[in-house]
Amino acid sequence: MKFKNLEILGFKSFSDKTTILIEKGLTGIVGPNGCGKSNIVEALRWCMGENSAKSMRGSGMEDVIFSGTSNLPSKNISEVTLLLDNQEKDSPIQYKEFDEITVRRKIEKDKGSKFYINDKEVRARDAQMFFADLST
């Protein structure tokens, strides 16, 4: 199973919807200090089930929601979607029939976060175990 793309909306420094394609081989993220490189990696980890706000460089999990700038208003929702290629059918057994699998995590202010696999709501533990089963 391979990562195909990462879609980020309202996560940390990403106010607008941003899609990062992950091509075959090595995909690098380059840019000047402060442009959000580490936020991309954190978005990936968060979508895969990271639960420690401290490891997300925040005091609470809601700190991952875009907090606004002088030009852009804050958001109430943060969402990260990871698209996985399952052409080789090496996913956990319940997802073997799918050629692509989406894992999405969404957090709303004062409501907590939810996980979805192929648009079906799952427990946080299910999403974490999905990636643990893949040894990612």
Query: Which one is predicted more confidently, 58 or 97?
Result: 97
> Among residues 23, 82, 13, 92, which one has the least CA distance to residue 48?
82
In single-letter form, the type of residue at position 49 comes to G
Q: What is the pTM of this model?
A: 0.91
Output the CA–CA distances (angstroms, integers) from residue 56 to 60, 61, 78, 84, 121, in the order listed: 9, 8, 14, 23, 23
HSE, CB side, 13 Å, CA atoms: give it for residue 108: 3
In this model, does residue 136 exceed pLDDT 70?
A: no
> Among residues 92, 65, 101, which one has the least CA distance to residue 80?
65
d(CA 4, CA 57): 26
Bridge pairing between strands 77-85 and 18-21: unpaired
The mean per-residue pLDDT over the stretch 97-109 comes to 96
In this model, does residue 133 exceed pLDDT 90?
A: no
The mean per-residue pLDDT over the stretch 57-85 comes to 93
Quick one: pLDDT at residue 56? 86
Query: Which one is predicted more confidently, 136 or 67?
Result: 67
Q: What share of the chain is helix, strand, coil (3-state, %, to 5)?
A: 20, 30, 50
